Amino acid sequence: MNLETLRHSCAHILAAAVKGLYPSTKLGIGPAIADGFYYDFAREQAFTADDLGKIEQRMRQIIEADHKFEKATLTKSAASKLFKKLKQPFKLELLKDIPESQVTVYHSGKFVDLCRGPHLDSTGEVKFFKLFSVAGAYWRGNENNPMLQRIYGSAFFTKQELDDFIRLKEEAKRRDHRILGPRLGFFSFPEEAGPGLVLYHPKGALLRTLIEDYERREHLKRGYQLVWGPHILKSDIWKRSGHYAYYKKSMYFFKIEGMQYAIKPMNCPGQMLIYKSATRSWRDLPIRYFELGTVYRHERSGVLHGLLRARGFTQDDAHIFCLPEQLNAEIISVIDFVDQALKDFGFADYDVELSTRPSKYIGTDEDWHRATTALEEALAAKNLKHEINAGEGAFYGPKIDIKLKDALGRTWQCATIQCDFALPERFDLTYVGKDGKHYRPAMLHRVILGSLERFMGALIEHYAGALPLWLAPVQVVVIPITTEQNCFAEDVEKQLIQAQIRAQLDLRSESMQKRIRSAQLEKVPYMLIIGAREQAQNEVAVRTRSGGEQGTMKLEEFVQKVLKEVAEKS
């Protein structure tokens, strides 16, 4: 018995419980997934939290009854008659798409479901499970299909594993950037603006700027050149690149003076046009262009998820044009860049995947082999263990994906390195070789942090909103105990700002303890408390957001302490 079989069986029990409680419910599908299982249902009334409790209770009754999971093989005709009788239209639709002449169904007690299996021997083998939430999901992932209700749950072999998982989910909920971000004044997602579009408030815009400044500084240190392109390009460009054929459903189109344009979903065509604008010599290569490029993609409203999946976002996008013999060194350089950046932001670990040629692609098989080999050799040179994602490469080339791990061990898509010989061919990119002849450059598409929005979401959840000092929008709050210290506190704030420390003065009439608590809730790293004694001795009393008192010190000493911590990114 494995975990997937356990969870799939539990999904089957969930469906049986729902049908027992709400007989008119129509059934969708119920697979095991990475961290549990779900089942999709069509029901006029929305499932509530109370309903989930009732469904769990019914599931326990089914488990206690210890019904056998009995497999039966039927002809498609017999199965169709069965599910017509049961009034299950979604099962009938699934049957039509099964190419085999025979299908399997599973019985447990009075419940029957269309299913390949496998299942446990009986319902009684399920011991430890929990239902968590309900979400909307289009039938078969198509927004033109009915919206169903998806109930999520999980199951484990031991109570300890389930308890640990529940604690992890509760901790993840506490860290949810969609809750913390608005609460901390970083950003919001107003319905009036439209789904999947984020508005940055002052603190969030400052955090974003700090990340962007880091990006520009680090790219310039590594020999990248800054470029910038428009948000729209003529559709002809996207037809040439292949995005029109392979990515059209995710793009936004409009017309100007009878000519069709697209809002860019990618930054690569613009950067290739910049490369193409002049004659390039082999001596010029590698050329590394870097752009903080904002792109827009049509994501279904049902899959939007705060900053992690938005319709408008900015990528730290770069394209490297190089000689084929320079590929290995350039890929290794990007891997090293990613490693350093993740460490700078406090991420100690990551997973690596190599995605290979998909079923639909452009370019020659020979070029795909060259590109894949280049990525494999770089991974081998860095001794990086990696998983193979067969068939998951971009349509123009294979890729390395680097997924950071956060404080809870969750992975987030971050860097990507894509090796491409196809688009230089399509855009007729060339360089003049030593012999005076024209040759095609190799091209790397790469991001370091990826989508800034997604990275900010991961960053907020990793630190539960308590960002490290160098990234905190407000680094210090100055709190005078009484109004008699206001003038001295104002001077302290001014000196901090002059030292390029992000400081705010809290002169509200609230009590000192309330103002301290407010700063802690806003995750401000330091509070400087100023009373009559501190004023008399020209000192400040230092507190941290965790509640620790650091004692009193001269302001100059505190400034040096903060600047040192910022420089060390602590």
Q: Is 344 a catalytic residue?
A: no
- 263 CB neighbour count, 10 Å cutoff: 18
> Which position among 115, 268, 414, 419 bears the catalytic label?
268
> Which position among 88, 149, 315, 418 bears the catalytic label?
315
> Which position among 26, 91, 130, 445 bears the catalytic label?
445
* Residues forming a β-bridge with 292: 316
> Which position among 7, 119, 203, 319 bears the catalytic label?
319
> Which position among 40, 51, 113, 317 bears the catalytic label?
317
Q: Angle at Cα 434 formed by Cα 432 and Cα 438, nearest 5°?
A: 30
DSSP string of 378-433, one letter each residue: HHHHTT---EEETT-SBTTB-EEEEEEE-TTS-EEEEEEEEEESHHHHHTT--EE-
> E strands within 257-311?
259-263, 287-296
> Which position among 12, 67, 119, 399 bears the catalytic label?
399
Q: Angle at Cα 37 formed by Cα 355 and Cα 54, nearest 5°?
A: 160
> E strands within 221-380?
225-226, 232-234, 252-256, 259-263, 287-296, 312-322, 350-355
Q: Is 445 a catalytic residue?
A: yes
Q: Is 297 a catalytic residue?
A: yes
Which amino acid type is present at position 409?
A: G
> Which position among 297, 311, 502, 515 bears the catalytic label?
297
Q: Is 260 a catalytic residue?
A: no
Distant-in-sequence contacts of 326-329, Cβ < 8 A, 24+ apart:
326/285, 326/286, 326/442, 327/374, 327/378, 327/419, 327/442, 327/444, 328/374, 328/377, 328/378, 328/381
Residue with token string 């860019």: 264
DSSP string of 61-84, one letter each residue: HHHHHT-B-EEEEEEHHHHHHHHH
Q: Where are the alpha helices (DSSP H) in 421-511?
A: 422-426, 452-462, 486-498
**Token couple for 522:** 């806003």
**Token couple for 402:** 């680097």
Alpha-carbon span 461 to 35, nearest angstrom: 19
Write phi, then psi, for 325 (nearest 5 degrees). Answer: -75, -10
Q: Is 129 helix (H, G, I), strand (E, B) or coil?
A: strand
- DSSP single-letter state for residue 361: -
Q: Is 271 a catalytic residue?
A: no
| Residues belonging to the active site | 268, 297, 315, 317, 319, 399, 445
